Amino acid sequence: MLFYSSFIDGQDDWPAADFDKYLQASGDLGVRMETAFEQAFSEQQGPVLIIGSDCAQLTAQIIQEGIDALEEHDFVIGPAEDGGYYLLGMRAFHPEVFKGIAWSTETVFEQTNTIIANKDWTLKLLPTLSDIDYEEDWEKHGWEIP
């Protein structure tokens, strides 16, 4: 499943024959992610992982580690250096993890982690990576802009 922010690009690198494509819901990041998880769980049993498109360090190996973690844990999170996360996965749909979060702040991961801990759900953490919100985030790693 692919979720697009404002329009579905029929000419992108993700063939429609291989990927179900949807527009993201309106609202803040939490609403958009909650709706995407709800849609995914309505179409399959789970587990479900969501990843952003702004983490250049994310690898297939890390994604597989996240999928594998959900065999034994309720949640998996890939923390981002800026206090958010680049990956969130859950074994069953728990919309509570999207409530009361100050989205797009340095406390997103911490707040999400607190919700999970307070519910006594199990959590596996993946490596902390850098996501790319601004050109400076890319440049601080010495990467060249393609």
pLDDT in tens, the chain (146 residues): 888 888 888 888 888 888 888 888 989 999 999 999 999 999 888 899 998 877 778 899 999 999 999 999 999 999 998 899 999 999 999 999 999 999 989 999 999 999 999 999 999 999 999 876 656 655 665 656 55
Query: Which residues is 77 bridged to in the sheet?
Result: 88, 125
pLDDT for residue 135: 62
Q: Is residue 93 in some structural domain?
A: yes
Q: Is residue 94 in some structural domain?
A: yes
Q: Is residue 35 in some structural domain?
A: yes
Closest CA to 128 of 70, 87, 71, 74: 87
Distance in angstroms (rounded) separating the CA atoms of residues 66 and 70: 7
Query: Count of domains in the chain?
Result: 1
pLDDT for residue 15: 84
Q: Is residue 71 in some structural domain?
A: yes
Any idea what the CATH number is for the domain that residue 117 is in? 3.90.550.10
Q: Which residues of 13-37 are buried (b: 16+ CB within 10 A; e: fewer)?
A: eeeeeeeeeeeeeeeeebebbbbbb
pTM: 0.86
Query: What is the domain range of residue 122?
Result: 2-139
pLDDT for residue 134: 56
Q: Is residue 116 in some structural domain?
A: yes
Q: Is residue 91 in some structural domain?
A: yes
